[in-house]
Structure 1
Amino acid sequence: MRGQPGFFDVEDRLQRLSDLGDQLDAFARVVDFEMFRPELEAALCYSDRAKGGRPPFDPVMMFKILVIQASNTLSDDRAEFLINDRLSFMRFLGLGLADKAPDAKTIWFFRERLTTAGAIEGLFARFDQAVRAAGYIPMSGQIVDASLISAPKQRNSDGEKADIKAGRVPEAWQGHPAKLRQKDRDARWTLVFGKAREREDGTRHADIAIPVFGYKNHISIDRRHGFIRKWDVTDAAAHDGAMLRQGLLDRSNTASTVWADSAYRSKANEAFMDAHGFKSEVHRRKPKGRPMAPNVRRGNAARSAVRAAVEPVFSHQKGAMALTVRTVGIARAKAKIGLANLTYNIRRLVFHEHRAGLA
């Protein structure tokens, strides 16, 4: 009968999506998501249901939803709608047309339990083990950098800002738990300085200072394969250089060289790297009030050619993945950014496997 769906229509449509390059289908073929089950079950601590009750959704399927959200920048409500709407999402999650999909509240609660348990770091480490087992051993040195991730701006008075910086809850907010839940006391303002542009008459504009409110994603990637190996999250005002000594360097990298921009050059960092067997290729700073020596300029140019490999990581996260923080508090921001870093590594593995003809 005309207009009535055929027996193989869904399978034909899914095959067509695969032929067109369904990203989630590539994820499923390259990554065995069952590897995350032990970490997920340990973090969630589901009961044995001895007293009955409705069984929870499969934790691996729920984790796949978080991967979908991180890869497509979806809110919980939007994710609920698209899971019910898109065949590619259903296939990735293992859902049929007649199966019940989790709603927005269930997705939020699942992510909250992982955040409270601090499980994102363990999930990231588990996938890094799988990447190494696949032959992508970190070698040829590492590149360190940080990127600002914007968060919802807070409209606070000067007194409230002073209290927040001092670690106090403003008096006007005390006794108002609903208001406190909407106030991000962990994110900070910082300034991003743009380079001055030259006018037509040869003079230059003043440097542009752009205020940004949010957090920083600090990462270390291996030079050869481009995977994120170490990461951390701070408020936007944190100094990049101080993070170098806070566990950001990957000691398992088979080469000891570290590339970074001049924000990471300090006597403390140089002494730390020297004491732990790292070779510094950190950019040198321009002497104050004097021109940079030609040999130093050439050295920085050579370092920039290597260090530039970290920029596509941030551009991919902010471009294709449209990474931003909509949550309140650094714990949730760390979970959101950590999931984005893990999802980037999944994308990176798919890229390498396809290039090698293994997927």
Structure 2
Amino acid sequence: MDNQLSFFDLTDRYSQLSKKGDPLERLDEVIDWKEFDDILAYVKKKGREARECHSNAGRKSFGSRTMLKVLVLKHLYNLSFEQVEYQLKDRLSFMRFVGVGLNGTVPDENTVRNYFEQYKETGAWDKLIRTFDKILEKAGYKAQEGSIVDASIVEAPRQRNTPEENRTIKEGNIPEEWEKVPNKLRQKDTDARWVQKRGQNYFGYKLHTLVDVKHKFVRKAMVTDASVHDSNVYGKLTKGDKNDVKRVHADSGYLNSKDALPQTYEEVVCEKGYRNHPLTDEQKRNNRKKSHIRARVEHVYGFIFGSMGLFIRTIGMARAKATIMGSVFVYNISRFATLVKGPKRPREKCAQPA
């Protein structure tokens, strides 16, 4: 057909994408995907064991690195499983990123869903975040100049439950009527919780992060339901912190935390004024300096929730955690692609199995 792209047409189109600054091309150039092979091999092994399938019959499976890139796309653009398949077939930048041509086979939505489940079951995203943190240290991006702790609500589809049903769920039980209707129970998220913030009600989960001040990488992350107070994970977040400065910037909600900081840490919190005891000019100046540093964490959340559009589509804590931690990993590698300088790493011509 006259309107079919030839090899030269396709090469020219890719060249045009590159000139426009394809962010996926840049990401693929600076990330050495081979660094994650051990984790990907573990995920693949556990996936085969779970399926109790050791046969090599049937269609050849997609390479582990290919599927990692596919899941990166899912999180980077907050796509549904169906949309991942569609966009892989439709967008040249997606095809180039995962290493498939116009005539190549792309993973269908069920394949993407299966890999998402494997990453969930094996805790792969947590492992990938820790591994990439080591890669950052080797590349000269050690945690420096102190840390920032913060948390943000990740909304999930709201449940229209009765007050009695909500009380039963909070007690750790399943409403009796739901147990009688399995199809209804499958559509109910009994792990997410309601919380009120600044007079507004939210339903879902909460992302807690430890961000280094200098480079704005998420060095540690935890996921809870939305009702868990930020201060309840304060000490857990900072445990094992490798920052060269043992200083933590936090808001006043973390003060008097039961999960306290180690004594070796300096805690930096904005001071509050009270009736008959307003802040002095010096305290106000100090607060502005502190706020200027704490604002750096908002850049992190701005990318995760704004650019990436993080939102929970799934049901239950396990899948919510996989979605959120996957987004944290993708944020970190995207941040690295923004910061890294020097020669580009040669791109693989096609995705290799791992």
Q: Distance in 2 between matches of 1:25 and 1:132?
A: 23
- Give aligned-pair identity as a percent: 37
Counterpart selection for 2:211 from 221, 238, 245 = 221
Map of 1:208-247 to 2, 5 A cutoff? 209-247=199-237
Q: Distance in 2 between matches of 1:71 and 1:263?
A: 30
Q: Structure 1 residue 306: deviation in Å?
A: 1.0
Please say if 1:265 is aligned against 2:269. no
Q: Structure 1 residue 50: deviation in Å?
A: 5.7
C-alpha RMSD of matched pairs (Å): 2.0
Q: Structure 1 residue 119: deviation in Å?
A: 1.6
Alignment-derived partner of residue 39 in structure 1: 39
Q: Under a length normalisation based on structure 1, what TM-score does the superposition of the two structures give?
A: 0.89
Q: CA, structure 1 residues 94+175, in 2 after alignment: closer, same or farther (shift >3 Å)? A: same
Contact 2:156 2:205 in 1 (8 A): yes
SS in 1 for 2:336: helix
Map of 1:202-351 to 2, 5 A cutoff? 209-249=199-239, 251-266=241-256, 268=258, 272-275=260-263, 277-287=264-274, 289-294=275-280, 295-351=282-338
Render the CA deviation track for 1:239-292: whole Å, top value 9, x for unaligned: 0111111234552111111101111111646xx4352x11111234444x5544
Alignment-derived partner of residue 200 in structure 1: none
Contact 1:149 1:324 in 2 (8 A): yes
For 2:123, the aligned partner's letter is G
Render the CA deviation track for 1:134-156: whole Å, top value 9, x for unaligned: 11011110011011111000000
Contact 2:231 2:258 in 1 (8 A): no
Contact 1:138 1:254 in 2 (8 A): yes
Please say if 1:67 is aligned against 2:72. yes
| Higher RCO structure, 1 or 2 (CA under 8 Å, sep 6+) | 2
For 2:307, the aligned partner's letter is A
Q: CA, structure 1 residues 267+124, in 2 after alignment: closer, same or farther (shift >3 Å)? A: closer
Q: CA, structure 1 residues 4+90, in 2 after alignment: closer, same or farther (shift >3 Å)? A: closer
Contact 1:187 1:213 in 2 (8 A): yes
Contact 2:192 2:317 in 1 (8 A): yes
SS in 1 for 2:312: coil
Contact 1:141 1:258 in 2 (8 A): yes
Contact 1:230 1:249 in 2 (8 A): no
Alignment-derived partner of residue 84 in structure 2: 79
Which structure 1 residue ranges, 5 or more long, are not aligned? 194-208
Q: Distance in 1 between matches of 2:238 and 2:247?
A: 14
Q: CA, structure 1 residues 136+161, in 2 after alignment: closer, same or farther (shift >3 Å)? A: same
Counterpart selection for 1:140 from 139, 145, 160 = 145
Q: Under a length normalisation based on structure 2, what TM-score does the superposition of the two structures give?
A: 0.90
Contact 2:210 2:237 in 1 (8 A): no
Alignment-derived partner of residue 348 in structure 2: none
Contact 1:183 1:328 in 2 (8 A): yes
Which structure 2 residue ranges, 5 or more long, are not aligned? 345-354
Contact 2:190 2:316 in 1 (8 A): yes
Q: Structure 1 residue 177: deviation in Å?
A: 2.5
Q: Distance in 1 between matches of 2:216 and 2:342?
A: 18
Q: Distance in 1 between matches of 2:81 and 2:61?
A: 18
Q: CA, structure 1 residues 297+107, in 2 after alignment: closer, same or farther (shift >3 Å)? A: same
Q: CA, structure 1 residues 267+238, in 2 after alignment: closer, same or farther (shift >3 Å)? A: closer
Please say if 1:30 is aligned against 2:35. no
Q: Distance in 2 between matches of 1:300 and 1:5?
A: 59
Residues matched between the structures, number: 338
